[in-house]
Amino acid sequence: MKQKILYLSYNGMMEPLGASQVLSYLYHLSADYQYYLVSLEKPADLADKSAFLQLRTKLKEAGIVWIPIEYRTSKTGKAINFVRFLNTAKVAVKKYGIRFLHCRSYLPAFAAWLIKKNHPVEYLFDTRGFEFDERADVGSISRSSRIFKLMKSLEKKLYRDAAGINKLSRLGKKTIVENGLFKGGNLLEERIDVIPTCVDIGRFPYKPRTYREPLNIGYVGTAVGWYDFDKTLDLVEELSKNVPVSLTVYNGNEHDYIRQKIAERDITLHNFTLEKVPFSEMPKKMMDIDLAVFYIRPVFSKRASAATKLGELLSAGIPVLTNDGIGDHRFYIENYRAGKIIDFDHLKQYDFKNMLQGMVSPEVSQNCRHVAEEFFSLEKGVDNYKNQYRKFFGI
């Protein structure tokens, strides 16, 4: 008989993130474990009855019991969301006799921590990032405030009482073990594993490239929030002074902002493409990119992150130019010659013409694919989760 696991996610399964970063794993893992899945679903997604029924059928066929909860967007609704989420998880634990909980991020772990007080359960804290510090880094809360200190106190308890902890980066683990997140983190070293954000490398195939001028620079995803598009364009501008370049941007709904930012620059582009690309078409579109660039703000919380786009780009054989201080990006890119970590504040120091001659090559493209296969493949991620279940749950 399969061991039962309750998977708790605040992300909806009808959203692209839930589909790629939860269901992609569970469809494989459900061959060995009986999953009960509690998720919060946006009203707009639930309104698509056809998509909802299609997903419910697919999950049922995989043997996954899906328990969706409608996400409420009002201020009071957000508090009610957690109460309903907690109660639903409690009912599932008692109804199905579940002992093991897999918690994707902080609020699901908080629910499991509360359940653990009255029920014989163990939970895997699949933390993703440093969520409370992320809120401080974006300015939504002050690190000197009382509420932040209460949050940090709770954070320590969530880590301390977990059967096991999964981080997205070695740097995130190192930060905890060196007591950089909270005091006492050094006592958790044996309970912390690392699984980066994995991708289905079968969806992002490797294509041997024939490089010719102009070099097609690619930018994929959002240009705001954690991403600094101005810094990225600083680099594109310097590249354009050294070699003939085109720029291709695949972005959702920030096109006016992107056009405005490019118009403010003196960048010589042989061609400029700006498209909104459906997730299903992205692998094919990526084949047109020779080199990818992006800049993520290197705040404290980003030590624990792993950009999904990095695995996708490397899987497609695309070398990356990006900044330091973000999870294990330096480890993957520099150690395996899959691009270059750039100091964006001192771009004049680089001989980009020679750098690109050595980087934009079939050998480096193959290096990128090798890194993706070694560290980011979905199959590796599935095997690593099985290892965590054995290690932390004994199942």
For 342-366, the pLDDT digits (tens) are 999 999 999 999 999 999 999 999 9
User: Residue 275 has what pLDDT?
Assistant: 96
For 229-260, what is each residue's pLDDT tens digit? 999 999 999 999 999 999 999 999 999 999 99
Q: Please classify residue 144 by burial: count the beta carbons closer than 10 Å to its beta carbon, then call 0-12 exposed, 13-18 middle and 19+ buried.
A: exposed
Q: Which residues are registered as beta bridge partners of 193?
A: 166
In a domain, 202, yes or no: no
pLDDT of residue 225: 93
Same domain for 360 and 384? no
> In terms of Cα–Cα distance, which of 92, 86, 285 is closest to 204?
285
| Whether residue 175 is found in the same domain as residue 223 | no
Same-domain status, 117 and 246: no
Summary mean pLDDT of the chain: 96
Q: What's the predicted TM-score (pTM) here? A: 0.93
- Does one domain contain both 258 and 188? no
Shared domain for 29 and 176, answered yes or no, is yes
The answer to whether residue 205 sits within a structural domain is no
For residue 124, give the 3-state DSSP assignment.
strand
CA dist 63 and 92 (Å) reads: 16
**One-letter identity of residue 82:** F
Q: Residue 249 is part of a domain; what is its CATH number?
A: 3.40.50.2000
Q: Are residues 58 and 181 in the same domain?
A: yes
Site of tokens 């070695």: 170
Write the Ramachandran bin of 347: left for phi over 0, alpha for psi from -120 to 50, otherwise beta.
Answer: alpha
Residue 186 has a pLDDT of: 96
Determine what percent of the chain is predicted with pLDDT higher than 90: 93
pLDDT of residue 340: 98
pLDDT digits (tens, 9 = 90+) for 61-76: 999 999 999 999 888 8
- ∠ CA 154-155-160, nearest 5°, is 95
- With H, G, I as helix, E, B as strand and everything else as coil, classify residue 33: strand
Domain enclosing residue 114, as ranges: 3-196+378-393
Same domain for 245 and 366?
yes
In the chain, the amino acid numbered 136 is: A
Count of domains observed in the chain: 2
pLDDT score, position 17 = 87
- Claim to verify: residue 190 and residue 289 sit in the same structural domain: no
pLDDT (0 to 100) of residue 197: 93
Let me know if residue 357 belongs to a domain: yes
**Residue 208: predicted pLDDT:** 84
**Distant-in-sequence, close-in-space partners of 216: CB < 8 Å, separation ≥ 6:** 245, 246, 247, 248, 271, 288, 289, 290, 291
Are residues 257 and 315 part of one domain?
yes
**147 to 73, 185, 303: CA distances (angstroms):** 22, 21, 23
What pLDDT sits at residue 365?
Answer: 96
Residue 46 burial class via C-beta count within 10 angstroms: exposed 0-12, middle 13-18, buried 19 and up = middle
Question: Cβ(317)–Cβ(162) under 8 Å?
Answer: no
Question: When comparing pLDDT for 190 and 278, which is higher?
Answer: 190
Instruction: Quote the CA–CA distance of 214 and 117 in Å, as a whole number.
Output: 62
- The answer to which of 8-12, 198-202, 323-327 has the lowest mean pLDDT is 198-202
Q: What kind and span of H or E run contains 340?
A: strand 339-341
Query: Is residue 302 one of the residues assigned to a domain?
Result: yes
Residue 274: the pLDDT is 97
State both tokens at 317: 């054989």
Residues 238 and 369 reside in one and the same domain: yes
Please tell me the predicted confidence (pLDDT) of residue 157: 98
What are phi and psi for residue 293, nearest 5 degrees? -135, 145
Residue 81 has pLDDT above 90, yes or no: yes
Question: What's the pLDDT band for 149 if we cut at 50, 70, 90?
Answer: very high
Length reported for the chain: 395
| Spatial distance between the Cα atoms of 204 and 283, rounded to a whole number of angstroms | 5
Q: Could you give the CA distance from residue 303 to residue 323 in angstroms, rounded to a whole number? A: 12
pLDDT digits (tens, 9 = 90+) for 195-212: 999 999 999 999 888 888
Categorize the per-residue pLDDT at 319 as very low, low, confident or very high, splitting at 50, 70 and 90: very high
**Among 12-21, 52-61, 103-112, which stretch is predicted with the lowest mean pLDDT?**
12-21
Task: Decide if 176 contacts 188 (C-beta within 8 A).
Answer: yes
Q: b or e along 105-122 (b: 16 or more beta carbons within 10 Å of the residue's beta carbon)?
A: bbbbbbbbbebbeeeebb
pLDDT digit string (tens) for 367-388? 999 999 999 999 999 999 999 9
| Amino acid at site 295 | Y
Digit-coded pLDDT (tens) for 265-312 = 989 999 999 999 988 899 999 999 999 999 999 999 999 999 999 999
Predicted confidence band of residue 13 (pLDDT cuts 50, 70, 90): very high
The pLDDT of residue 128 is 86
Residue 32 is assigned to a structural domain of this protein: yes
> So what's the pLDDT on residue 75?
84
Burial (0-12, 13-18, 19+ Cβ within 10 Å), 331:
middle
What pLDDT score does 73 carry?
Answer: 87
Kind and range of the H or E run holding 202? none
267 and 152 together in one domain: no
Contact residues for 305 (Cβ-Cβ < 8 A; gap 6+): 128, 129, 168, 169, 172, 296, 326, 327
User: Residue 51: its pLDDT value, please?
Assistant: 95
Buried/exposed code over 51-80 (b: 16+ C-beta within 10 A; e: otherwise): ebeebeeebeebebbbebbebbeeeeeeee
Are 317 and 368 spatial neighbours (Cβ–Cβ below 8 Å)? yes
Which residues, including other chains, have CB under 8 Å from residue 282's CB and lie 6 or more apart?
Answer: 220, 250, 312
Whether residue 285 is found in the same domain as residue 330: yes
